[in-house]
Structures are given as C-alpha cells and as structure tokens.
C-alpha cells in the first residue's frame, strides 16, 4: 500500500471527495467503486478536514493543533497522532463526543463530525508520517532509571504492571487498540496519566489505566512520562498489512461508520 502524502492524496481528486463527502453530509460512496477508490476518497476528505475542517460551524482544522502531518505541539501538550491506527483515532474522537475521553479543547470542535468524517480524518492521520518534534520540557536526570523501571518492569509490589505489556516494547504500541506512546511529549503523557488518575478520562478498557495511574505518585508519573518522551516514535515505512483500514474489525458494530 502506498503511503499517501499531501502530494499523493489526489488519486481521487480532492474536489470530487469534497463533493461526495463534504459539508457535513454523511453520504454513502457508490457501491460500484473499488475499495481502493473509496479509501482514497475518504483519505482525501480526511485531508480536507485536517486542513480546514468539515465546513460546519464550530469545527476547525485539526492541523491547527495536531499539524497537517500529525506531529502535534509538544510545547503545549498536543499529542502526535501521525501513524496511530485508524481504529484508535476513531475511538478517541468518539470518546470525546461521548464524554468518556476528557478533552476540553476538542469537545466543541468534534461534536458536529459525522462518523464518516471521523473515519476519514482517522484514516488520513493513520497514513501520514512525520519526525519527532522538539520537546521543550525539562528532563530530570535523577528520574531516568525510575521511569525506565516502571516502563519496562513495573512496580509489582504495588500491583503496577510494566507499561510495555500493553504499549509494546519501547512504547511502540500494539495495534490496533493500544497506541504508541514513544515520542509523545512529556507534558501530554503527564496530563493523560493525571486525567486517568482523577477519573476525568474514562475510555480505558476495564478501567485498566485508571487503576494503574491512581497508584502512581506524582514523581512516578513524571518519571515514566519523561522516559517515554525521551524515546523515538515508531517510523513504519508503510502501513502494516494487518493495520489496513479494511482489516480493522475491533470497533463495535454499533460504532462502525458506513464503509
């Protein structure tokens, strides 16, 4: 699968995708289209939403915070979303809409996104790649080993498992449902751990992250966030076959957008 970029997204012209999917309309793509054509149209519409929003009041470009190539804004804790799976991005946007993911910045922006809008923008960002951006946060050398220990071995005397059991070796993620956290900014990672700890974020399966984060001290949260922020995010040369959008089936049926 060719990884789309802003220069190659026009396999199906952007104007055509906008006509078919734009202005907040949740239209079904023609059944006669090949799967690749439908996917290209959705990616093109996702690119439009990323750059300028879906055209409805209150919705703004995703790129204003997450940037066009999904690198985020480390200085203010806006996360990287480049290369996260379509399933994960879709689920998190729906979580913001439903109030299970605490995100006061995104809440008003995503409410008028249709499920097809969400799938399109999730698909777009799942297919872009960008280098790690500079993180201006201060790093405390004295916390390096503590962060590494929590990430790799956990604190089993307090029933805190190693982070890599779910987030993968070196924080590379276990697609499609467990995101990569390597290379996310220190402020973002700290913010999410604190959000889980005080139960503002409630989209973790079986309350897993809430249970873990609530047991960590502030120093431990800082240490493990610093550790993963110091790593390089995964760089995949292409979308792994098992992560192709037409292979992702773990979104509950009632939440699956029209394909």
pLDDT for 237-251, tens place per residue?
Answer: 555 454 444 443 333
- What's the predicted TM-score (pTM) here? 0.80
Residue 209, pLDDT score: 96
Residue 28, pLDDT score: 53
Q: Which residues contact 221 (CB under 8 A, 6 or more apart)?
A: 190, 193, 194, 197, 213
Q: Which of 228, 197, 216 is nearest to 159 (CA)?
A: 216
Q: Which fold, 9-129+236-255?
A: Cytochrome Bc1 Complex; Chain D, domain 2 (1.10.760)
Cα(181)–Cα(45) distance, rounded to whole angstroms?
27
Strand partners, 155: 160
Q: Which residues contact 175 (CB under 8 A, 6 or more apart)?
A: 85, 87, 88, 240, 242, 243
Alpha helices, H only, 99-214: 104-110, 115-126, 144-152, 164-167, 186-197, 208-213
Residue 37, pLDDT score: 82
pLDDT for 51-65, tens place per residue?
Answer: 999 999 889 999 999
Residue 158, pLDDT score: 97
Q: Which fold, 141-229?
A: Cytochrome Bc1 Complex; Chain D, domain 2 (1.10.760)
- Report, as ranges of residue numbers, the positions in the chain whose pLDDT lies below 50: 1-27, 240, 242-259
Chain region(s) in the chain for CATH 1.10.760.10: 9-129+236-255, 141-229
Residue 81, pLDDT score: 96
């Amino acid at each position: 699968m060719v990884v789309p970029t802003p220069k190659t997204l026009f396999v199906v012209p952007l104007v055509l995708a906008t006509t078919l999917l734009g202005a907040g309309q949740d239209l079904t793509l023609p059944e006669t289209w090949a799967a690749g054509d439908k996917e290209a149209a959705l990616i093109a519409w996702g690119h439009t939403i990323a750059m300028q929003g879906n055209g409805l009041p209150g919705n703004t470009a995703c790129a204003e915070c997450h940037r066009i190539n999904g690198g985020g804004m480390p200085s203010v804790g806006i996360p990287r979303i480049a290369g996260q799976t379509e399933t994960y991005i879709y689920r998190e946007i729906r979580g913001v809409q439903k109030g299970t993911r605490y995100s006061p910045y995104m809440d008003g922006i995503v409410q008028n996104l249709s499920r097809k809008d969400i799938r399109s923008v999730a698909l777009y960002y799942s297919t872009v790649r960008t280098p790690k951006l500079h993180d201006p946060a201060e790093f405390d050398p004295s916390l390096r080993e503590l962060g590494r220990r929590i990430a790799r071995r956990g604190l089993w005397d307090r029933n805190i498992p190693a982070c890599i059991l779910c987030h993968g070796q070196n924080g590379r993620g276990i697609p499609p449902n467990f995101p990569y956290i390597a290379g996310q900014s220190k402020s973002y990672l700290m913010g999410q751990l604190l959000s889980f700890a005080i139960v503002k974020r409630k989209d973790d399966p079986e309350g897993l992250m809430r249970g873990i984060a609530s047991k960590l001290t502030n120093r431990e949260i800082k240490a493990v966030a610093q550790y993963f922020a110091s790593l390089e995010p995964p760089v995949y040369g292409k979308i792994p076959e098992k992560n192709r959008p037409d292979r992702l089936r773990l979104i509950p049926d009632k939440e699956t957008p029209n394909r």
